[in-house]
Structures are given as C-alpha cells and as structure tokens.
Amino acid sequence: MTDSHNRTIDYLRLSVTDRCNLRCIYCMPEKGVQWVPHGDILRFEEIVHLVRLFSDLGIRRVRLTGGEPLVREGILDLTAALCALPGINEIYLTTNGVRFAPMANQLRQAGVQGVNFSLDTLRPDTFRRITRTDQFAAARAGIDKALEAGFPSVKVNCVLMRGVNDGEAAALAVLAKDAPLEVRFIEMMPIGCGKGYAPVPMETVYAALVKAFGEPHAFTAPLGSGPAVYVSFPAFQGHVGFISAVTHAFCTRCNRVRLTAEGYLKLCLHDPAGVDLRAPLRAGMDDAALTALLRRAIEQKPAHHHFTSRPAGKAGEARTMNAIGG
C-alpha cells in the first residue's frame, strides 16, 4: 500500500523482544533497564496473525529484530511460521551474532534469506568496551557460519564513534575484501543512549577507505531496496555501504514501518507517533477492523524524521533502541 506521501510501504521491521545478551553503550544502559513485562510481549500466534494482515496490505519483506531476536525462546518456530505465510517473500534477521552459529542451519532451512550482523569492532578489548561483555569470539564466528550455511545475503553493520572505534573503518571493510558480504557503515543516530556519542561523518569514513584501498567503483543504481549507498573497492569480493540517516536522510524513499515487541506500530524511527495493535487484537477486534486500523495508521506515516530539527511542541522518540526495535 502507499502512504499519504505516495511512498510504497512494503517492509516491516518486527521486534520480537526488547531483551538482549549484550549491553552496547549506544543502545541501552548497563544497569537498570526497565524490561517490558512478559505478559505485554506479543505472543507468537499474535505476531503471525498481525503479519498476515500486514501481508494483505502489501508488506512483502519482514526483518526480525530486537533487542536480540535469538534470545527469544522458540524463535526458530516463529521464523518457520512467518516464512510460510503467503505473500511474505523475504524474511531477514538482524543479530549481534553471539547465539547465531548453533541456529544458522535451522534458520536457513526455515527460509531466512539474509542476516545482518551488528559488529562495530574487530578488537576484543574494544568489543568489551562497546558491548560490556566478552562475547567477541562468538559474535565473530557467527559471520563465518552465515557464509558457510549459504545465506544469500550476509551484511555486517558497523557504527563508528569518535574516540571509541573510529580508527577501524579499514579493518572492518576488509571483511568485504575477504568474503562475499557487505560491510555497511551506519551513521550514529541521536536516539536514546546514542545521544551521548559523537558520530563519525560518512565522508570521513569514505576518505579513510580510499586511502587504504584506492578509488572504488560506485554503483549508479541501488543494490537492494534499502537506504545504503554502495561502492566496490579493487579486489574486494563484496561491497561497502554507507547509511547516513541523519545527514543524508532517505525519508522520501522510506518504505518501512516498525512493530515493537509489545505490539506498537511505529511509523517512523524518530517519531513516537503510532498505534497500539496489541490492545484491540486481544480485545477481539475482527480482521476487517484491524486491517482498517493498519491502513489508517500507515497512511499517516510522517513525511520525514526530525533528527536535526523538531517542530515546536513535537516530542522526539525518548525510548532506547532495544525498546524500539533495531
């Protein structure tokens, strides 16, 4: 379907939990996290029910997120059920990779077509600083396992922060030199704990990569349907992408909505506006009424985010990324 700004909305980012086995400094505080009560989290049958209705409205791609989706008990059963839904053509997963390797083959067999790994460093000490855990080996092994299992799409998402890991752009990009995957540098967004860290401009990242690898080939057409701008450096098996959601917004091409773990439909990452779907679903609202509710909400998707400027009287998103859904 299309929203009121004539954008085709065909992509759902679906958070299955707000819980995570890491404590990344830009995502959530180390202690005192207020988790969503278990009874408020959508049950699997509720998730499948809603995704079926989204499919009827034209959603074709679903990405499972969190928190960390692989800490949700029974996630393999949910994944298989979603992959079997008519109209859903693509199922993807975003993960920190720590629990991925033992589940990789089953996820692939269920029908998951691609995996995005969140990995911001290749240094165990810096990994410990960013995630507040010692799980680097498991996280890194997940990427190799995804390639071994034959996922058609393997991507590594990297967020660089000044004074933390901003000197690792070239080292991280080498992952795409050594294997047929995509390394994507994502601009830090001022949401939740991320407000406390200075972003690294993508122009700075690009310059560091050119210095290390030479001038790349730039693609004139998009690769995939996401916001990344990709290049290919000489002798690389894969590609390197740049996502600048703040300084080079892609709002005019935005094709996605988000469903939080507790069933709140978010229309824009940085806008708290949306609609609660859990309450009417549990109250017994029929599918026709639920579908109409979804349609009305999506039609009201904001024209653009307000990362850099906010209209008077309009609040930005106050929750942390684990609560919103990555």
Quick count: other Cβ atoms within 10 Å of Cβ 290? 16
Tokens of 253: 């091409």
Residues of the chain with pLDDT under 50: 312
Write down all domains in the chain, each with its CATH number in brackets: 11-324 (3.20.20.70)
The whole-model pTM stands at: 0.93
> pLDDT value at position 193?
86
Q: What is the pLDDT of residue 269?
A: 84
Distance between CA atoms of residues 133 and 158, nearest Å:
17
What are the structure tokens assigned to 25, written together? 């400094």
Per-residue pLDDT, 243: 92
Residue 296 CA: distances (Å) to CA of 205, 231, 250? 40, 38, 23
Q: Tens digits of per-residue pLDDT, 248-282?
A: 677 888 999 999 999 999 999 878 889 999 999 99
Nearest in space to 256 (alpha carbons), one of 238, 280, 274: 274
Determine the pLDDT at residue 44: 98
CA distance readout (Å), 64 to 14, 51, 78, 215, 325: 5, 12, 10, 35, 9
pLDDT of residue 253: 87
Confidence at residue 318, expressed as pLDDT on a 0 to 100 scale: 62
d(CA 212, CA 4): 44
